[in-house]
Amino acid sequence: MLRSAQDFEKCFIGATDGSHVHVKDLYFDDHARAIGFPVDNTSIGRLGHKVLIAPHWIDRLQWSGQFMAVDLSRELVRATPAYAPSADLDRQRETDLYTHDGSFTYWQPNATLKHEI
Per-residue pLDDT of the chain in tens (117 residues, 90 and over written 9): 788 878 887 788 888 988 777 788 888 877 766 677 777 777 655 567 788 888 778 888 888 888 889 888 888 888 888 888 777 778 788 888 777 777 766 666 655 545 444
In a domain, residue 17? The reply is yes
Judging by DSSP bridges, how do beta strands 67-70 and 58-62 pair with one another? antiparallel
Q: How many CA atoms lie within 13 A of 94 on its CB side?
A: 14
Percent of residues in the chain assigned helix, strand, coil, to nearest 5: 20, 30, 50
Cα 77 to Cα 71: distance, rounded to the nearest angstrom = 10
Domain ranges, residue 18: 5-99
In a domain, residue 18? The reply is yes
In a domain, residue 42? The reply is yes
In a domain, residue 117? The reply is no
Which H or E run includes 20? strand 20-29
- pTM of the predicted structure, to 2 decimals: 0.69
In a domain, residue 57? The reply is yes
> Domain containing 80 — which CATH number?
3.90.50.10
In a domain, residue 116? The reply is no
Count of the separate structural domains present in the chain: 1
- Phi, psi at residue 92, to the nearest 5°? -65, -45
In a domain, residue 9? The reply is yes
